[in-house]
Amino acid sequence: MSAASERTEDFRHVRMELAREKGHPMGDRGDGYDLVVPLDAEGRLDAAQWKKHQEACRVRRFRPGAEDLIGRLRRKPGGTWYFDYAEGEDDDEIGFRLGEERFVPGEYVSVRSDGAMHTFQVTLVEKL
């Protein structure tokens, strides 16, 4: 069974783009993430749906001048959400309180990448 066929109607495509930060005073539309994740009615990650459909929960990281990274949304035993691109933990990107964030356009989400915390703005949420 393919990951697409495992998705429920709660799955959404979420796009997040780099918000304003030092070195990027206007943000950067070319630096961000595309997520395929289940959201509840309030726009939060749906942990129960994620648990049932983990293989369908995908992430794509895009950056200017770099090859896209394709991975999965994962959750540690304590409830911390992270993006996992390959075996091991060297490339994992930890989301800051992702379980509490609302994935709705205009909201901000922080992700620890390359040893630093970066803030991204949710720019798109659409049904698949």
* Segment 76-123, tens digit of pLDDT: 988 899 999 987 667 689 999 999 999 999 999 999 988 899 999 999
The residues near 64 (Cβ < 8 Å, ≥ 6 apart) are 28, 30, 31
Q: How many domains does the chain have?
A: 1
Q: Which domain holds residue 112?
A: 3-127
Q: Are 103 and 91 in contact (CB under 8 A)?
A: no
Cα 83 from Cα 35, distance rounded (Å): 10
Q: What is the pTM of this model?
A: 0.91
Integer-rounded Cα radius of gyration of the chain: 14
The pLDDT tens digits for 7-54 are 888 999 999 999 999 889 999 999 999 999 999 999 999 999 999 999
